[in-house]
Amino acid sequence: MQTVYQAAGGRDGLMRLARAWHTRVLKDEVVSHAFSHGYHAQHTERLAAYWGEALGGPTTYSDQYGDETSVVRIHSGNGPHEEMDQRAIVCFDQALEDVGLARDEQLRRVLHDYFAWATTTTMSRYHHSADDVPDGLHIPKWSWHGRVS
């Protein structure tokens, strides 16, 4: 059976999705605040690599950029931001439409569920301080059936 990564178009498909999501969040009046202090020049490539690794693709993110701890620390210490999280998820769903990944209902649902889960749990768990994030976290894996334990 094909991985979610493969069904999403592999590296190229996730690059298109990351570009579309990034374009949408930068235009959103609430979510764009997260990028108001700047962002890494390779944000889109890194994001696509991160999603790829989580969705059954190669370990490019871990091999080249860091582990889950580094990702979660970037997203931590900003206080609760439920509205921003929900709007980021809406932008993701719209980006799925933009790049044609919403045509396959099963794929759309799996990608939505993954992104919503990651946004509202892993990336928003440490509201008070990035120092609270433990060392040694691994990128969570996601399959057609949800989180892989």
Q: What is the pLDDT of residues 32-65, one digit of tens each?
A: 877 767 677 788 999 999 999 999 999 999 999 9
Q: What is the 3-state secondary structure (H, E, C) of 73-132?
A: HHCCCCCCCHHHHHHHHHHHHHHHHHCCCCCCHHHHHHHHHHHHHHHHCHHHCCCCCHHH
Higher pLDDT, 128 or 22: 22
User: What mean pLDDT is predicted for residues 53-80?
Assistant: 87
**Which of 76-80, 105-109, 121-125, 129-133 is predicted most confidently?**
105-109
CB atoms within 10 A of CB 95: 23
Percent of the chain with pLDDT over 70: 95
What is the structure's pLDDT at 35? 72
Per-residue tokens: 82: 């439920």
Helix (H) or strand (E) holding 53: helix 43-54
3-class secondary-structure state, position 144:
coil
Query: Comparing C-alpha atoms, which of 89, 40, 83, 82 is closest to residue 61?
Result: 40
Q: Which residues contact 87 (CB under 8 A, 6 or more apart)?
A: 28, 30, 31
Higher pLDDT, 132 or 89: 89
**Domains and their CATH numbers in the chain:** 4-148 (1.10.490.10)
Q: Confidence band (pLDDT; 50, 70, 90) for 31?
A: confident
Mean pLDDT over each residue of the chain, to the nearest integer:
91
Number of helical (H) and strand (E) elements in the chain, helices listed first: 7, 2
What is the structure's pLDDT at 68? 87
User: What mean pLDDT is predicted for residues 138-142?
Assistant: 96
pTM for the complete prediction?
A: 0.91
